[in-house]
Amino acid sequence: MANTIKIFDTTLRDGEQSPGCSMNLSEKLEMALQLERLGVDIIEAGFAIASPGDFQSVNQIAKAVKNTRVASLARALTKDIDAAAEAVKEAAYPRIHTFIATSDIHMQYKLQKTPEQVLETAVEMVKYAKKYCGDIEFSAEDASRSNPVFLYQIIEAVIQAGATVVNVPDTVGYTSPEEFFTLIKGIRENVPSIDKVDISVHCHNDLGLAVANSLAAIKAGATQIECTINGIGERAGNAALEEIVMNLGVRRDLYNLGTNINTKEIYRTSKLLSSITGVKVQPNKAIVGENAFAHESGIHQHGVLANKETYEIMTPESIGLTENKMVLGKHSGRHAFVDRIKTMGYTLEEDALNKAFEQFKVLADKKKVVTNKDVEALVRRKTIVI
Ligand code: KIV
Ligand code: ZN
Q: What is the pLDDT of residues 331-348, one digit of tens each?
A: 999 999 999 999 999 989
Q: Is 173 in the pocket of ligand 1 (CB under 6 A)?
A: no
Model confidence over 39-77: pLDDT tens digits?
999 999 999 999 999 999 999 999 999 999 999 999 999
Model confidence over 290-307: pLDDT tens digits?
999 999 999 999 999 999
The answer to whether ipTM exceeds 0.95 is: yes
What distance in angstroms lies between residue 167's CA and the mean position of ligand 1's atoms?
9
Q: For residues 98 and 126, is the Cβ–Cβ distance under 8 A?
A: yes
Average pLDDT value for the chain: 96
Contacts for 95 with CB less than 8 Å, ≥ 6 apart: 42, 69, 70, 71, 72, 88, 133, 135, 136, 137, 165
Model confidence over 268-288: pLDDT tens digits?
999 999 999 999 999 999 999
Q: Is 141 in the pocket of ligand 1 (CB under 6 A)?
A: yes
Q: Is 228 in the pocket of ligand 1 (CB under 6 A)?
A: no
- Of 73, 107, 151, the residue with max ligand 1 atoms within 8 A of its CB, to mutate for a pocket test, comes to 73
Angle, alpha carbons 119-211-197 (nearest 5°): 40
Question: 202 labelled as ligand-binding?
Answer: yes
Model confidence over 112-143: pLDDT tens digits?
999 999 999 999 999 999 999 999 999 999 99
Identify the band that residue 380 occupies on the pLDDT scale cut at 50, 70 and 90.
Answer: confident
pLDDT score at 385:
45
- How many residues are present in the chain? 386
Q: Is 16 in the pocket of ligand 1 (CB under 6 A)?
A: no
pLDDT score at 2:
63
Question: 106 labelled as ligand-binding?
Answer: no
Q: Is 202 in the pocket of ligand 1 (CB under 6 A)?
A: yes
Q: Using CA positions, which residue lies closest to atom 8 of ligand 1?
A: 14
What b/e sequence results for 128-150 when a residue is b if at least 16 CB atoms lie within 10 Å of its CB, and e otherwise? bbbebbebbbbbbbbbbbbeeeb
Question: 97 labelled as ligand-binding?
Answer: no
**For 180-198, what is the mean pLDDT?**
98
Q: Is 14 in the pocket of ligand 1 (CB under 6 A)?
A: yes
Q: Which ligand is nearest to the CA of 238?
A: 2
Is residue 159 over pLDDT 50?
yes
Q: What is the pTM of this model?
A: 0.95
Q: Which ligand is nearest to the CA of 144?
A: 1
Question: 295 labelled as ligand-binding?
Answer: no
Count Cα atoms within 13 angstroms, Cβ side, for 177. Answer: 12
pLDDT score at 382:
60
What distance in angstroms lies between residue 174's CA and the mean position of ligand 1's atoms?
13
Instruction: Residue 168: name the closest of 224, 211, 252, 239 by CA.
Output: 224
Supply the Cα-derived Rg of the chain in whole angstroms. Answer: 25
